[in-house]
Amino acid sequence: MLFIIVTILHVLAAAILVLFILLHAGRGGGLSDMFGGGMSLGGSTVAEKNLDRMTVFAAALFTVTTISLGFIIKDRDNAPPPTIPTPAISIPASPTGDGTTNPTPNGSPVPTATAT
């Protein structure tokens, strides 16, 4: 259950991280130019600073989930295998007529000699 939750968080963190990185400024501007605020004179806008903070948070979450998944998988590999009880196999026995029984592998009756 924990493995599934951490895996979902990991995938979400990866997708959000990719999105935030793609929103960052390239050579031409970035988030502020995309939405019409391209009049900054060399300084970063508030939106870009917030984008930087969110990107760092997403990267930290991605790192934590990566390390957590590593520990979870390591613990899963070191766990002892589950024990499955095996039922006792009994071979049916057929009477021989003298009070003893001789087991046969397929359960068929043991042929007996008849006195004539």
Can you give the pTM of this predicted structure?
0.56
Which helix H or strand E contains 103, and what residues bound it?
Answer: strand 101-103
pLDDT digits (tens, 9 = 90+) for 6-42: 999 999 999 999 999 988 876 655 555 555 555 555 5
Across the chain, what does the average pLDDT equal? 76
103 in Cβ contact with 92 (< 8 Å):
yes
pLDDT at 41: 55
- Under the banding of pLDDT at 50, 70 and 90, the label for residue 58 is very high
- The dihedral through the CA atoms of 45, 46, 47, 50 has a sign that is positive
- Under the banding of pLDDT at 50, 70 and 90, the label for residue 75 is confident
Q: Quick check: 59 pLDDT over 90? A: yes
Find the mean pLDDT for residues 65-70: 94
Neighbours of 81 (CB within 10 A): 5
